[in-house]
Amino acid sequence: MKTKANALLLESHLKTLRLPTMLAEYPGVARQCAEKDAAYELFLEHLAELEVNRRETKSTERRLKQARFPVAKELSEFDFSAVPKLNKSKILELARCEFIDQRANLVFLGAPGTGKSHLAIATGRAACRCGHRVKFFTAAGLVNLYREAWDERQILRFEASLQRLDVIIVDELGYVPLDKAGAEHLFGFFSLCYEQTSLILTTNLPFAEWPATFAGDQRLTGALLDRLTHRVHIVEIKGDSYRLKSSMNKTNQGNQSQGQTITTKRT
């Protein structure tokens, strides 16, 4: 028969073992099992399942927070109808994150506003839910962090922090040309990740135009691309800017609304 002393001792043990979900849930689960005359094993199994599920949820939340995504974007929110030439089944397959286990890379290529960043972030968030450690950077931001680490003689520590990640997202590569030092830093980054850490990149430039971004250095760009494309999935997004199209639709709707108001007043 359960006594208050038994309950206090059980709660003390659960606290010592750091099982907060079991501690919170065991009275309710015990009542349910007693009502159903369930076996002790079922009671323990149910409690353990609750504890595991809660830990997995908290771990996922922690990985999502540590990834530092600029915004929360999910594949369920992506308007595939706005980009009819995009292979939806391929995107959903990539979101299973099997390419990460293969140390492969993923490149989203397309004009500005076509949804590259949305897809990169959504895939990164899917990777967090699969248990992978992810970090988001813009290309310019990553180069600046390399510069700061170099100036402060912390480059080895910074690169060690990158090596602990499973996936690194580099957004907007090619939007801002790099000087020679910046290009060399980014080359060092690609070399560091080669066959160790999967990359998810977004870029508005075909590979043939990358030398212009990397200080015009053909040899460095060629060596960089050789590492990037050794194992890579390239998703080319063809279409007009989704953001521009959305803004124009809103403007047209606003103009139509104003026209209706004016007509009503004249009537």
pLDDT band at residue 244 under the 50/70/90 scheme: low
- Domain co-membership, 156 together with 222: yes
- Domain co-membership, 152 together with 214: yes
- Domain co-membership, 59 together with 86: no
| pLDDT of res. 52 | 83
pLDDT tens for 40-97 read: 778 788 888 888 888 899 999 999 999 999 999 999 999 998 888 899 999 999 999 9
170 in a domain, yes or no? yes
pLDDT at residue 243 tops 70: no
113/91: higher pLDDT: 91
| pLDDT of res. 198 | 97
| pLDDT of res. 267 | 42
258 in a domain, yes or no? no
81 in a domain, yes or no? yes
- Domain co-membership, 57 together with 83: no
* Domain at 140, CATH number: 3.40.50.300
- Domain co-membership, 118 together with 166: yes
96 in a domain, yes or no? yes
234/12: higher pLDDT: 234
Quote the domain boundaries for residue 106.
Answer: 75-245
- Domain co-membership, 26 together with 83: no
- Domain co-membership, 108 together with 231: yes
255 in a domain, yes or no? no
- Domain co-membership, 116 together with 19: no
**Phi/psi at 46 (5° precision):** -65, -45
256 in a domain, yes or no? no
- Domain co-membership, 40 together with 82: no
Q: Domain count of the chain?
A: 2
| pLDDT of res. 253 | 54
267 in a domain, yes or no? no
Compute the average pLDDT of residues 182-203.
Answer: 95
pLDDT tens for 145-182 read: 999 999 999 999 999 999 999 999 999 998 888 999 99
- Domain co-membership, 20 together with 114: no
In percent, the amount of the chain with pLDDT more than 70 equals 88
| pLDDT of res. 41 | 78
222/17: higher pLDDT: 222
pLDDT band at residue 261 under the 50/70/90 scheme: low
| pLDDT of res. 134 | 98
Mean pLDDT of the chain: 87
219 in a domain, yes or no? yes
- Domain co-membership, 56 together with 85: no
- Domain co-membership, 31 together with 100: no
Q: Which of 26-30, 125-129, 249-253, 262-266 has the highest mean pLDDT?
A: 125-129
